Amino acid sequence: MRTVDPAKHEARRRHILTAAAECFATKGFQNTRTADICAAAGMSSGNLFHYFASKQAIFTAIFEQDGHDNAALLEQAATADNALEALLGFAEFMVAQTEYPHLAGLMLEVIANAKLDADFAALLDRNDRENRDGLITVLKRAAAAGQIDPALDPVTAANWILVLIEGAFVRASADSGFQPYRDKAMLRRMITRFLAAEADRQA
C-alpha cells in the first residue's frame, strides 16, 4: 500500500484551493467548471476528485481553510509573551490578504453563496465567532499584562477591531487604489491608540 506524505498532501490541497479561488473570483461560481479548476491547478479530474468530491466542496474548503489558519494564529497569540504584539500581528495577517488580486470577485461569490447555501452561511458565522472569541482572549491577556487599557470591554473592543479589518476588505474590493497591506504602520497605529490607556494616549 502506498503511503501518503501528509506535508505533500496538504501542499497539493492548498494548491488546488488557490487555483480554484482564482477561478471562482474571475468566472463566478456558477460559470466555473471543474475542468477550469483542473486546468488552473495543472491536474487531471481524477486527481482533483481524490482531494475534493465536488465544486461546492472546493468552494467551502477555501473558507474552512481560512478559518483554520486564523484560529491557529489566534491560538498562538493567546499564549504569546507579548499579547498586544501578537494581536497586531493577527491584524496585519488578516489585512495582508487584501493583496489578493481578485478580492472583489471572490467577495461577491461569498455573498452569493451565503444566500443560497445555509451550511456555507453557517461556516462563515462560525469563522466570525472564532475570530471574535480568539481576539477577546488575547485582549484579556493584554489587559492583564498592563499592555492596553484595562477599562476597555474586551467584547466591544474585539468587535471594533474586526470592523476595522473587515472594512479594509470592503474598501479594497471597491477601490483598487486602496492597498491596506502596504500601509501596515497605519493599521498598527490605529489599533494601538484605540487600545491604549488614557494616560498613554495623552503622552
- Residue 4 is assigned to a structural domain of this protein: no
- Residue 2 is assigned to a structural domain of this protein: no
Place of cell 501528509: 6
pLDDT at 3: 67
Which amino acid, 48? Answer: L
- Residue 100 is assigned to a structural domain of this protein: yes
- Residue 178 is assigned to a structural domain of this protein: yes
User: Rounded to an integer, what distance in angstroms lies between the CA atom of residue 99 and that of residue 89?
Assistant: 16
Closest by CA to 123, choosing from 49, 41, 56, 52, is: 56
Enter the DSSP assignment of 181.
G
**What's the pTM value of the predicted model, to 2 decimals?**
0.88
Average pLDDT over residues 133-155: 96
- Residue 51 is assigned to a structural domain of this protein: no
Q: How many domains does the chain have?
A: 1
- Report whether pLDDT(202) > 60: no
